[in-house]
Amino acid sequence: MKNSLTIALAGNPNSGKTTLFNQLTGMNQHVGNFPGVTVEKKEAELRGAMAYLPKKDAARVSLVDLPGIYSLSPYSQEEIVARDFIIREKPDAIVDVVDVMNVERGLYLSLQLMQLGTPLVIALNMMDELRENHGSADVAALSEKLGVPVVPISATRHEGIGELLEVAVRTAAEASPPRVTDFCSGAVHRAIHAVTHLIEDHAAWLGISAKFAATKILERDEPLLDALQLTEHERHTIDETARDMELEAGTDRKAAIADMRYEFIGEAVSEAIEKPHITLQQDHSARIDQVLTSKYFGIPIFFGVMAVVFWLTFSVIGAALSDALGALFGAAGEGVARAMEASGVNPVIRSFVGEAVFGGVGSVVSFIPMIIVIFFFMSLLEDSGYMARVAFIMDKLLRKLGLSGRSIIPMILGFGCSVPAIMSARTLSSERDRKVTVMLTPFMSCTAKLPIYGVFVAALFPAWRGLVILSLYAMGIAVAIAVGVILNRLVFRGKPVPFIMELPTYRLPNARTVGILLWHRTRDFLQRAFTVILLATVIIWFLQSFDARLNPVGYGGGSMLDAIGGFLAPAFSPLGIGTGICATAVIAGFIAKETVISCLAVLTGAATVMELQALLPGVFTPLTAYVFLVFCLLYTPCVAAISVVGKEMGGGARGGLAALWMVVRQTAIAWVCAFLVYRVGLLLAG
């Protein structure tokens, strides 16, 4: 037996695959990208898998979560990634998650996986919903018909997970291939078998199943056809065989093969599964959608929902928790400062610990509760199925502006973090839509900007916290739409591709899935706080504390940072924020947006976030504070996001120029918008 086993997890979108992955692996997940692409790859060790190995001599059993797909045809980046991984990496087994409430659609992928010859286990998910809606499934009959193990589970209720784990590990260890790989009869049967015999040598050379290759070739799978390196004579023979099949079947080749699969699936389902006509969840979802996806009420309801989320995050729950954590950091900082002073610690060291560590990093970390709260609500909306409706109701509006409806998904993800949001644009099928989406996503207000908003609204807009922050989010969306229209008319001309999205039924969010997401987001934020942000804060403290000859300076001026801020300040004077403090904080934000707050804490000498909030009214008026927030909202994203933009726009020199142009363009847009806000504010005030 091999020293390690790899099991791939496949399935349709919304089949419960992510929930199952979390159940099988817990939080011990390694997230990266599949080789050569930016589609996310999750891999983790299977917990408890060793107990089911025959001799317990495999060192490791890992699970790789493939992108959600509907088939193994090369029509989307997800399908290409999943197929390439199975063919090239050759996992020891595949666990195919099939939603029993949409079993025909799920088994359409299963039949293609079976033809690959890789050991396969079908996880028949959502059995609890089937039972509750008075349906039933004969799992043994379905397994016999398909020729692969079928395990009934409910991933959300943790039912059948142990049995699935045992069957999957045993199937991988024993390398048991599917017993059934032939689903056809008549004209399709003859065509597939004729092509199979013709390409056997080529398929063996490529290391794939000849029957799978033959079926895909008959479906006009051009990438696979090129990879097989067939002769002109062999290609001609295949075309003749396909034409004969079409004439006898009375339809085109793709439809004939699809009919073949669905005919076999229909027989299997009719023998093994009794489905309810309309489930309770489907009925409830349809009734809810009459309101939430309404032509007139859909978009206003969405903005209302987001307004409530922001109000709870920034004015109620998140604000109270952040204030409490900030006070805790402040008390700890004061205690450490008194201890160091009593011990006679060098004043420079005391300054570093008080201003850089507790003042800089502490001011950012204190906003973890806000980030957790907003991600909690966003996770609830996503896991319940509502965010899919948001994409649906926004499609018509965005299409009028020349944008693809599917582009709203990366933009929504951009409210979390620009880096994965930009990377997710790779899944868009149109190159034009992908590039437009990459350019617009950074305008969305990511959670890295929440510490900036939180400090400023608490200091200068205490009675209008939720409204001010909501206005910033709305402004980011409005500017993105305006820029999208301009790009569509001047740079990326053309029409967006059609938008097709399946709307899942509404479900109660899974507590485990939400918990794991919150943990990963919090962990990522803490890693940034104690690496990138700490490093940036130390640099800022050093520049603030010493002059060009490395002599310590006080707050009276003369530091290296004063010189840098003084040089850049004139560029911000027309915005009403032409001080060295503002200019330096903005520059620090190029590294990471959270660094703006840690920089302000160092520059003002604040040891805690409470002190910083008390000092800001002496630096900003409400108008200039809002202008500063607008600029921070719209100007260039962090270094990590810029590097991802360069990669997504082609990489190399071409991608670098595109990323540089984005930095210049977005900073210029931020300056113009902040200038307009400032001038309008002056007119209204005077």
Residue 122 pLDDT more than 80? yes
**Predicted pLDDT of residue 628:** 94
Looking at residue 121, its pLDDT comes to 96
Query: Which of the pair, 251 or 418, is modelled with greater confidence?
Result: 251
The pLDDT of 551-568, averaged and rounded, is 71
Mean pLDDT of 105-130: 91
The per-residue pLDDT for 40 is 58
Q: Which two tokens stand for residue 111?
A: 């039949």
| pLDDT band at residue 287 using 50, 70 and 90 as cut-offs | confident
Average pLDDT over residues 94-110: 91
Alpha helix positions (H), 461-510: 465-490
Q: Which residue has the higher pLDDT, 488 or 686?
A: 488
Spatial distance between the Cα atoms of 252 and 235, rounded to a whole number of angstroms: 18
> Contact at 8 Å (CB) between 142 and 273?
yes
> What would the mean pLDDT of 289-304 be, rounded to a whole number?
82
Q: Give the per-residue pLDDT at 634.
A: 92
Q: What is the pLDDT of residue 278?
A: 65
pLDDT-above-90 percentage for the chain: 14
CA dihedral 288→289→290→293, nearest 10 degrees, is: 140
CB-CB contact of 404 with 484 (8 Å): no
Looking at residues 284-298, what average pLDDT do you find? 80
pTM, 2 dp:
0.62
Q: Mapping DSSP to helix (H, G, I), strand (E, B) and coil, where does residue 255 land?
A: helix
Average pLDDT over residues 367-393: 75
Q: Is the pLDDT of residue 16 over 60?
A: yes
pLDDT, average across residues 472-499: 75
Cα–Cα distance list, 185 to 1, 16, 83, 193 (Å): 38, 33, 26, 10
Cα 477 from Cα 296, distance rounded (Å): 20
User: What is the token pair recorded at 206?
Assistant: 């490529």
Task: Give whichever of 335-349, 437-451, 480-494 has the largest mean pLDDT.
Answer: 437-451
Share of the chain above pLDDT 70, in %: 80
Residue 30 above 60 pLDDT?
Answer: no
Tell me the C-alpha distance between 24 and 51, whole Å.
14
pLDDT for 390? 76
Q: Which residue has the higher pLDDT, 549 or 48?
A: 549
**CA distance to 7, 44, 568, 669, per residue, from 49 (Å):** 11, 12, 59, 54
Label residue 32 by pLDDT band (50, 70, 90).
very low
Give the model's confidence band at 146: pLDDT under 50 very low, under 70 low, under 90 confident, else very high. Answer: very high
Average pLDDT over residues 644-659: 76
Range of lowest pLDDT (296-300, 389-393, 469-473, 656-660)? 389-393
pLDDT confidence of residue 7: 92
216 in Cβ contact with 72 (< 8 Å)? yes
Q: What pLDDT shows up at residue 647?
A: 73
Average pLDDT over residues 573-600: 81
User: What's the rounded Cα separation, in Å, for the pair 50 and 32?
Assistant: 25
Mean pLDDT of the residues in the chain: 80
Per-residue confidence (pLDDT) for residue 451, from 0 to 100: 83
Distance of CA 30 to the CA centre of its chain: 15
Partnered with residue 121 across adjacent β-strands are 95
pLDDT at 39: 53
Higher pLDDT, 243 or 511: 243
pLDDT higher than 90, residue 672: yes
pLDDT score of 499: 55
What element of type H or E holds 60? strand 60-65
For the chain, list the domains and their CATH numbers: 4-174 (3.40.50.300), 186-274 (1.10.287.1770), 298-685 (no CATH)
One-letter identity of residue 634? L
Task: Pick the most confident of 95-104, 390-399, 478-487, 656-665.
Answer: 95-104
Mean pLDDT comparison of 130-134, 150-154, 232-236, highest-scoring range: 150-154
Determine the straight-line distance between the first and last CA of the chain, rounded to whole angstroms.
81
Q: Which of 108, 100, 99 is nearest to 17 (CA)?
A: 99
pLDDT score, position 426: 63
CA gap 665, 576 in Å, rounded:
21
pLDDT reading at 457 higher than 80: yes
Q: Which of 362, 327, 337, 336 is nearest to 534 (CA)?
A: 362
Q: pLDDT confidence of 420, banded at 50, 70, 90?
A: low
**What is the predicted pLDDT for the residue at 550?**
75
How does 87-120 read in b/e, with b if 16+ C-beta sit within 10 Å? beeebbbbbbbbbbbbbebbbbbbbbbbbbebbb
The conformation of residue 56, written as its DSSP 8-state character, comes to S
**What is the reported pLDDT for 627?**
94
Q: What's the token pair of residue 636?
A: 């260039």
Structure tokens at 115: 């033809």
pLDDT above 80 for 410: no
Range among 104-108, 320-324, 368-372, 605-609 with highest mean pLDDT value: 104-108
In this structure, what token pair is assigned to residue 466? 């939720």
pLDDT at 31: 45
305 vs 298: CA distance, rounded Å: 11
153 against 504, higher pLDDT: 153
Coil/strand/helix, residue 63: strand
Closest C-alpha among 601, 137, 116 to residue 351: 601
Reported confidence tier of residue 98, pLDDT bands at 50, 70, 90:
very high
DSSP state of 220: T
Return the pLDDT at 38: 42
Token pair listed for 256: 């004939």
Average the pLDDT over 171-195 and give the result.
86
Query: How confident is the model at residue 350, as a pLDDT?
Result: 74
Burial (Cβ within 10 Å: 0-12, 13-18, ≥19) of residue 133: middle
- Helix or strand or coil: residue 67? coil
